[in-house]
């Protein structure tokens, strides 16, 4: 087994842990607990429109899977901070927006709030989005330290939350 294969295998195992344990904890177990709570009296009724919530949930799942592959195969690491990528990931959806994994989480939670007509899950979505924002600032400082001018150039070209239309490439100098 080559060294690169060993790194990719370790990254794959770590990413599967992320996808099968951490993500479901925050995006399935906690919303389930909110829905199961006796305090789940804060609901709203939007009728059949609630099924539109399936769209952001499905989109969020696809984004999670796509980004996870980018972490494993392009970055040779995981989305988990204690096993970070060896390389800066600027492929896949990261060519359009800097934080697609957080956007995926927000989409899933917003979709669940709609689908289950739950103000509780909507409040949880708002709290998690605030946490995502705080974590992004911490993460950006760490990435700037690790990847220096390459990351700074990437940040100048690729927005934090709203995707750009033209894909980024390493030679981009546009702001």
* pLDDT tens, residue order, the chain (175 aa): 787 788 788 878 878 888 888 889 999 999 999 999 876 667 888 999 999 999 999 999 999 999 999 988 888 888 877 778 889 999 999 999 999 999 999 999 999 999 999 999 999 999 999 999 999 999 999 999 999 999 999 999 999 999 999 999 876 554 4
The dihedral region occupied by 72, where left means phi > 0, alpha psi between -120 and 50, and beta the remainder, is alpha
For residues 70 and 104, is the Cβ–Cβ distance under 8 A? no
**Contacts for 135 with CB less than 8 Å, ≥ 6 apart:** 102
User: What residues pair up with 118 in beta bridges, in sequence order?
Assistant: 43
3-state secondary structure of 100: helix
Domains along the sequence of the chain with CATH: 3-157 (1.20.120.1630)
Tokens coding 74: 């392009």
């Amino acid at each position: 087994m080559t060294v690169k294969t060993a790194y990719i295998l370790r990254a794959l195992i770590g990413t599967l842990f992320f996808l099968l344990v951490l993500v479901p904890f925050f995006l399935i177990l906690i919303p389930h607990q909110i829905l199961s709570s006796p305090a789940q009296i804060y609901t709203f009724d939007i009728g059949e429109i609630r099924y539109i919530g399936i769209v952001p949930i499905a989109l969020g799942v696809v984004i999670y899977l796509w980004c996870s592959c980018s972490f494993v195969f392009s970055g040779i690491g995981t989305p988990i901070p204690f096993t970070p990528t060896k390389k800066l990931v600027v492929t896949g959806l990261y060519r359009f927006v800097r934080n697609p994994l957080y956007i995926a989480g927000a989409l899933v939670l917003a979709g669940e709030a709609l689908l289950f007509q739950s103000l509780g899950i909507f409040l949880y979505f708002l709290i998690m989005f605030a946490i995502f924002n705080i974590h992004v600032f911490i993460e950006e400082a760490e990435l700037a330290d690790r990847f220096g001018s390459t990351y700074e150039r990437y940040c100048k070209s690729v927005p934090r939350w709203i995707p750009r239309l033209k894909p980024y490439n390493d030679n981009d100098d546009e702001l």
